[in-house]
């Protein structure tokens, strides 16, 4: 199904892990609440796995959290340690075998894993695993990590995990449970975020993709898990070790532009403040005479506020977002893509009619949905439409956890800004320069990954060497 926001980059998933020192603690309900705070990172599937002594319990399925979990499910998810996952797939399609967490029996008992990112050498690793006689059920790169752990000669989980990490190339933040312990892992480049928190008034720790998940379950933020770091805790004691150092920091800049919630803090920097600064920077790039500034909801709202204040142009909500549109039947023969945009966004004519309108959005990938949004604004009576984008043109594919791995699908890789402007039907089109984006975030250029804008990949990788999200899908098993 094509989503109304198909013009945005789609991130792989959100992860959370929790362990309490009390065996009576109900980890699953708190993980569920934390996943609600991460639902924006993936709406394709959801799952929770918990460990209760030697037993590992799991519930997972396709759809949103509210579709997958019912109140009765938590009775069978007892345990003081567990992990959770919400997913948008970038390696492996959305069928059930790929839904995380993924569990397996290994030499030490039962293990479960949730992963955010993309392993770029997954085909090579899959061939290695198959040569050793393993049977693979999914087409996800995450399952390969479990197989590799089970193949290690070291009969110690931490040593086995460390041995496997040396074989992985790409982006990965991981939470893993084994032997009553929670492991949090972040790749040497720090492509994907991972934060550590402490349960308030209780013995226990939480690790999550974003700090907002800590807030909802009442945990105190401790720190970010560092690039190339493994954090291990049983709920009482906590330890840390580095498995690979000396790499360039390369947190994905789209965490600040679009992926993270505005109330999150990523690598010590508040996302809300960054987006307001982006708006101010956009307003300084090109002066424009306009009557109103409107955002494309929801990610453009904070940036539009910053733009409005810097430019001295009133901020308004010009597009109303219907929060309740999900999988909606569209009559065959109608323009499905156009109708999905209209169902999701409706222009407020009293705000737009006869006005010179500044539209603030976070990015343009293919351009098709942006074109339809501009059409809606024109039809509502806007006299002029000036579009401002808080990221540079996306000219290169991403191989590290964003579903934009094919260059020819990116409108800016084949067209100039002027050609894109004409295609969208706007009076002016202004993108954020990389230098202004770096200034807004407050990190130097070598601390973030800008590869989708400039082709400077932290890891040597090409489109030819990565075969897309279905690269491991030689076959498909349908599970009802």
Residue-wise pLDDT for 198-243, tens only, equals 998 778 999 999 999 999 999 999 999 999 999 999 999 999 999 9
- The domain total for the chain is 2
Residue-wise pLDDT for 5-64, tens only, equals 456 555 559 999 999 999 889 999 999 999 999 999 999 999 999 999 888 999 999 999
Question: Counting Cβ atoms within 10 Å, is residue 193 exposed (0-12), middle (13-18) or buried (19+)?
Answer: buried
Average pLDDT over residues 389-405: 87
Are 429 and 367 contacting, i.e. CB atoms less than 8 angstroms apart? no
What is the pLDDT at residue 476? 46
Is the pLDDT at 448 greater than 60? The verdict is yes
Mean pLDDT of the chain: 89
What is the pLDDT at residue 164? 95
Alpha-carbon distance of 178 to 233, in angstroms, equals 11
What is the pLDDT at residue 475? 44
Are 193 and 13 contacting, i.e. CB atoms less than 8 angstroms apart? no
Task: Give me the residue label for tokens 């049983």.
Answer: 234
In angstroms, the first-to-last Cα distance of the chain is 19
Distance of CA 73 to the CA centre of its chain: 26
Peptide bond into 105 cis (omega under 30): no
Q: Are residues 211 and 173 in the same domain?
A: yes
What is the pLDDT at residue 2? 32
Q: Are residues 331 and 434 in the same domain?
A: yes
Question: Counting Cβ atoms within 10 Å, is residue 84 exposed (0-12), middle (13-18) or buried (19+)?
Answer: buried
Alpha-carbon distance of 27 to 17, in angstroms, equals 9
Average pLDDT over residues 88-110: 79
Is the pLDDT at 333 greater than 50? The verdict is no
Q: Is residue 473 part of a domain?
A: no
Q: Are residues 234 and 108 in the same domain?
A: yes
Give Cβ neighbours of residue 295 (< 8 Å, ≥ 6 apart).
301, 303, 304, 317, 319, 359, 360, 361
Range in 25-34, 124-133, 276-285 the model is least confident about:
124-133
What is the pLDDT at residue 313? 98
Alpha-carbon distance of 7 to 88, in angstroms, equals 15
Q: Two tokens at 170? A: 């790409």
Of the candidates 380, 362, 407, 386, which has an alpha carbon nearest to the alpha carbon of residue 318? 380
Alpha-carbon distance of 386 to 58, in angstroms, equals 49
Distance of CA 429 to the CA centre of its chain: 27
Q: Are residues 422 and 276 in the same domain?
A: yes
CA torsion through residues 440, 446, 449, 451, sign: positive
Task: Give me the residue label for tokens 């209760």.
Answer: 52
How many angstroms separate the Cα of 249 from the Cα of each of 50, 92, 184, 189, 208? 32, 27, 18, 5, 19
Q: Is residue 101 part of a domain?
A: yes
Alpha-carbon distance of 198 to 188, in angstroms, equals 24
Alpha-carbon torsion angle 433, 437, 440, 442, nearest 10: -130
Task: Give me the residue label for tokens 């929060």.
Answer: 323
Q: Are residues 100 and 204 in the same domain?
A: yes
What is the pLDDT at residue 406? 75
Indicate the SS3 state at residue 225: coil
Q: How many CB atoms lie within 10 A of CB 140?
A: 27
Q: Are residues 226 and 319 in the same domain?
A: no
Q: Is residue 288 part of a domain?
A: yes
Q: Are residues 203 and 299 in the same domain?
A: no
- The catalytic position among 13, 398, 449, 452 is 13
Q: Are residues 60 and 196 in the same domain?
A: yes
Is the pLDDT at 1 greater than 70? The verdict is no
- Angle at Cα 34 formed by Cα 29 and Cα 37, nearest 5°? 135
Give Cβ neighbours of residue 194 (< 8 Å, ≥ 6 apart).
15, 173, 175, 184, 185, 186, 207, 208, 209, 224, 225
Q: How confident is the model at residue 462 (pLDDT cuts 50, 70, 90)?
A: low
Q: Are residues 113 and 18 in the same domain?
A: yes
Q: Is residue 22 part of a domain?
A: yes
**Is 13 part of the annotated catalytic residue set?**
yes
Q: Is residue 358 part of a domain?
A: yes
Alpha-carbon distance of 364 to 356, in angstroms, equals 21
Domain that holds residue 24: 13-250
Q: Are residues 87 and 225 in the same domain?
A: yes
Which CATH number do you get for residue 161? 3.60.20.10
What is the pLDDT at residue 84? 98
Is the pLDDT at 414 greater than 80? The verdict is yes
What is the pLDDT at residue 469? 47
pTM of the model: 0.89
Average pLDDT over residues 409-434: 96
User: Where is pLDDT greater, at 322 or 80?
Assistant: 80
Q: Are residues 343 and 205 in the same domain?
A: no
DSSP one-letter code for 257: I
Range in 132-146, 256-270, 307-321 the model is least confident about:
132-146
Is the pLDDT at 138 greater than 90? The verdict is no
Q: Is residue 367 part of a domain?
A: yes
Task: Give me the residue label for tokens 């733009």.
Answer: 307
Which CATH number do you get for residue 297? 3.40.50.2020
Q: Is residue 46 part of a domain?
A: yes
Give Cβ neighbours of residue 40 (< 8 Å, ≥ 6 apart).
14, 259, 261
Alpha-carbon distance of 199 to 201, in angstroms, equals 6
Q: Is residue 52 part of a domain?
A: yes
Of the candidates 178, 173, 172, 124, which has an alpha carbon nearest to the alpha carbon of residue 156? 178
Q: How many CB atoms lie within 10 A of CB 379?
A: 11
What is the pLDDT at residue 67? 94
What is the pLDDT at residue 327? 44
Indicate the SS3 state at residue 352: helix
Are 232 and 215 contacting, i.e. CB atoms less than 8 angstroms apart? no
Q: Are residues 240 and 338 in the same domain?
A: no
């Amino acid at each position: 199904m094509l989503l109304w926001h198909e013009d945005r980059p789609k991130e792989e998933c959100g992860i959370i892990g929790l362990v309490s020192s009390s065996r009576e603690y109900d980890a699953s309900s708190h993980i569920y609440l934390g996943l609600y705070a991460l639902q924006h990172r993936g709406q394709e599937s959801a799952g929770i796995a918990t460990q209760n002594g030697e037993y590992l319990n799991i519930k997972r399925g396709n759809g949103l959290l509210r579709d997958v979990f019912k109140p009765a499910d938590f009775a069978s998810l007892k345990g003081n340690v567990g992990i959770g996952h919400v997913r948008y797939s970038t390696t492996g399609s959305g069928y059930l075998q790929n839904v995380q967490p993924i569990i397996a029996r290994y030499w030490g008992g039962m293990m479960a894993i949730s992963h955010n990112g993309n392993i770029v050498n997954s085909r090579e690793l899959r061939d290695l695993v198959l040569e050793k006689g393993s049977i693979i059920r999914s087409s996800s790169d995450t399952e390969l990590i479990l197989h590799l752990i089970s193949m290690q000669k070291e009969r110690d989980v931490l040593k086995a995990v460390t041995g496997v990490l040396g074989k992985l190339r790409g982006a990965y933040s991981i939470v893993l449970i084994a032997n009553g312990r929670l492991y949090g892992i972040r790749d040497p480049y720090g492509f994907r975020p991972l934060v550590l928190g402490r349960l308030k008034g209780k013995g226990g720790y939480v690790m999550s993709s974003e700090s907002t998940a800590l807030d909802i379950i009442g945990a105190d933020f401790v720190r970010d898990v560092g690039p190339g770091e493994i954090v291990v805790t049983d709920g009482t004691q906590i330890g840390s070790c580095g498995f690979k150092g000396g790499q360039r920091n390369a947190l994905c800049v789209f965490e600040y532009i679009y992926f993270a919630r505005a109330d999150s803090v990523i690598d010590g920097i508040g996302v809300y403040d960054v987006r307001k600064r982006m708006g101010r920077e956009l307003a300084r790039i090109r002066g424009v005479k306009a009557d109103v500034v409107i955002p494309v909801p929801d990610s453009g709202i904070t940036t539009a506020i910053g733009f409005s204040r810097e430019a001295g142009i009133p901020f308004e909500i010009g597009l109303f977002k219907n929060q309740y549109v999900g999988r909606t039947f569209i009559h065959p023969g109608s323009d499905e893509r156009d109708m999905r945009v209209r169902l999701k966004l409706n222009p407020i004519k009293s705000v737009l009619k006869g006005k010179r309108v500044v539209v603030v959005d976070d990015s343009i990938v293919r351009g098709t949905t942006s074109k339809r949004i501009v059409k809606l604004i024109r039809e509502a009576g806007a006299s002029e439409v000036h579009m401002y984008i808080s990221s540079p043109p996306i000219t290169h594919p991403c191989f590290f956890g964003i579903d934009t791995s094919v260059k020819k699908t990116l409108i800016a890789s084949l067209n100039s800004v002027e050609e894109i402007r004409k295609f969208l039907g706007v009076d002016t089109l202004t993108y954020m320069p990389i230098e202004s984006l770096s200034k807004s975030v407050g990190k130097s250029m070598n601390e973030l990954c800008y590869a989708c804008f400039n082709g400077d990949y932290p890891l040597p990788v090409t489109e030819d060497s990565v075969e897309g999200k279905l690269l491991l899908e030689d076959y498909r098993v349908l599970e009802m």
